[in-house]
Chains A and B, each alone.
Chain A
Amino acid sequence: MRTTTPQEDFIRGIWKENPVLVQLLGLCPTLAVTGTVDNALTMGIATFFVLLGSSLLVSMFKSVIPKEVRISAYILVIATFVTIADLVLHAVVPEIHKSLGPFVPLIVVNCIILGRQEAFASKNTVARATLDAVGTGFGFIIAMMIMGSVREILGNGSWLGHPLLGAHFQPWVIMVLPPGGFFTLGFVLLGIAWWKGRSAVAVRPRRWPHGVTTEVGGPAS
C-alpha cells in the first residue's frame, strides 16, 4: 500500500473523506445539537479534543495493546477523554453544557472516533495519527458549523446570537425543531450529490427507467 503524504493525511478528513458529509458517521450529534451555532461549535470542539487525545494515546501505545482486547482498550481511552471534556465544559460553559444534555457523554459512542482509532491511529506513527485526527476533527467541526449556521439563520434569523436578517424576517421555527435537523442534512447531502455528479450524471444511464420491473417487488427472500 502506498503511504500517503502528510498533506493528504490532513486534507483527507476535511473534504474527500469528511466523516459526516461523505462517510455519514456520527449523525446523532450532527442532527441533535445543531439547533444553534454555539451548541454546534462547542460540540465540534469537544469532539475534536477527544479525537485528538485518543489518537495520540492509541498511536503511542499501539504496540503494547493486545490485539484481542483492542476495541475495549480504545473505548476506555475515549471514555477517559470524554469524562475530561464533560467536566471541563461543565465548569467553563455551564449553560451550553446543560443544553447539550446527554450528547457530551455520548461522544464515547461516536463512530467517527472509534473508527479513526481502529482504521488509522492503531497502525500509524504518532505524527501521522495526529495529522489524521486534526483533519478529521476539522472536517467534523466544518460539518457541524454548516448544519448549525443553516438551522440558526433560517430558524432564528441570527448567527452566533447576532441578529442577521432584520426584524421583518419570520423565523422558520421548524428548522430548530428535530425535523429541521433531518431536512437540513438531507438537503446538504442532496447539494453535495448534485455538485459531485454535475458532470457524471449526463452520461450515466438512469438505474430504473419507466416500465422496467425488477424482482424487488416479489416475495422477500
Chain B
Amino acid sequence: MRDLFWIFISSALVNNFTLVLFLGLCPFLGVSGKVATAVRMGMANIFVLVITSLTVSALNTWVLPHAPYLQLISFIVVIASLVQIVEMAVKKLSPTLFRELGIFLPLITTNCAILGLAILQTNRGYGFTEGLVFALGGGAGLTLALVLMASLRETVELADVPSVARNMGLVLILAGSLSLAFMGFAGLFSS
C-alpha cells in the first residue's frame, strides 16, 4: 500500500510526465490556451492512460514473453485499436461523455505520454495494480501541468510582452519556470 502511494506521488509530482520526463508535450503546448479545454484534455488523457495500462499488463503477461521483439509494434497496434473500440462504445452508451472527451481521443491515442507509459511500465516491471496506479498518477500529473499552464497563459494573454516573444518562445519560458517549480518536489524522496 505504501509502495503504491509512492508510485502515485512519484508519477504525479516528482517525475511529472510532462514537466520532468517530457512526455506528452504536444497537448501540453498545443491545447493549453484555455483552462476549460485543458481540464477536458487532461481527463481524456487519464482515460486513455488507464486503458493503456490495462492493455500493457495483459500483453506483458500473455503475449510478449513469447515474442519480445514485437513489443513496440504490438503496443501501438493494440492500444490504438482498443482506444478506437472504447471510443465507439462511449459514443453509443454515453453521448454526453463523448461530447466532453471525444474529440481529444484520436489526437492522443499515439502521443508520447501513452506509449511512454507503456514502455516505462514494462521497463520498471510493474504488475497489474502498480501499473494502474502509475497510470492514474501520471494522468493526474499531466492534468495538473496542463491546468497550471493554461492558467498562466490566460493570465499573460494580454500582457505587453516584446513582439518577438508573442508566440512559442514565451510559452516555453513559462513552461521552464513551471518545470523549475516541480524540481522542488524531488526533495520529497530524500526525507
Contact = CB atoms under 8 A, between A and B. Distances in A.
A82 B123 CA distance: 17
B126 to A, nearest CB: 14
Interface stretch (B2-10, B23-31, B46-54, B86-94): B23-31
A46 interface: no
B23 A28 contact: yes
Interface stretch (A51-59, A161-169, A186-194): A186-194
Contacts of A186: 168-173, 175-176
A155 interface: no
A65 B127 CA distance: 38
Contact of B72 (A82, A210, A220): A82
Contact of B29 (A24, A183, A220): A24
Nearest to A180: B176
Contacts of B36: 220
Given A32-B21, A182-B172, A193-B169, A102 B116 contact: yes
B169 A216 contact: no
- Tell me whether chain B's interface is mostly helix, strand or loop, or mixed: helix
A187 B176 CA distance: 11
B59 interface: no
B157 A216 contact: yes
A75 interface: yes
A109 B110 contact: yes
A62 B121 CA distance: 35
Nearest to B19: A178
A193 B167 contact: yes
Contacts of A83: 69, 72-73
Interface in B25-45: 25-26, 29, 34, 36
B163 interface: yes
A108 interface: yes
B166 interface: yes
B165 A28 contact: no
B82 interface: no
Contacts of B97: none
B166 A190 contact: no
A197 B163 contact: yes
A13 interface: no
A105 interface: yes
B120 interface: yes
B150 to A, nearest CB: 11
Contacts of B24: 28
A79 B115 CA distance: 12
B55 interface: no
B115 A27 contact: no
A76 B73 contact: yes
B22 interface: yes
